[in-house]
Amino acid sequence: MGGKSVEEWLHALVMLAIAMLIDVIGTASFVIPGVGEFADVIWAPISAVLVKVLFESTLLAGVNFVEELTPGLDFIPTATIAWANKYRDFAALLLRAAKRSGGTGGNRRTTT
């Protein structure tokens, strides 16, 4: 497991799930028409504080805050990017594993 303990892996994966949840909540605010902009005004400071506390990055917390308040930028997974920044070793191992398994997307060739 790349020299990391099982506990370290579990912690990193739990933090990844939390980051993804923060991003999903930020994106989901536009599911209910007319509520999105109002919800973003409430969610932006909450998500920024969560990113700051969980991933220890004032810079990415600020980016998260601006991203949540700027119309059209909700698709950017800022909390997940903050996770990848803090857990670089884990992110690199996950990317290598995905490449080995062919899970990187549509570049696989199929033979018939």
Residue range 45-92, pLDDT digits in tens = 999 999 999 999 999 999 999 999 988 888 899 999 999 999 998 888
Residue 29 has pLDDT above 80, yes or no: no
Model confidence, pTM: 0.80
CA 70, distance to chain mean position in Å, is 17
∠ at Cα 85 (4, 103), nearest 5°?
70
Instruction: Yes or no: say if 24 and 43 are a contact pair by the CB < 8 Å rule.
Output: no
Q: Which amino acid is at 102?
A: G
Residue 32 has pLDDT above 90, yes or no: no
Confidence of residue 111 (pLDDT cuts 50, 70, 90): low
CB atoms within 10 A of CB 105: 7
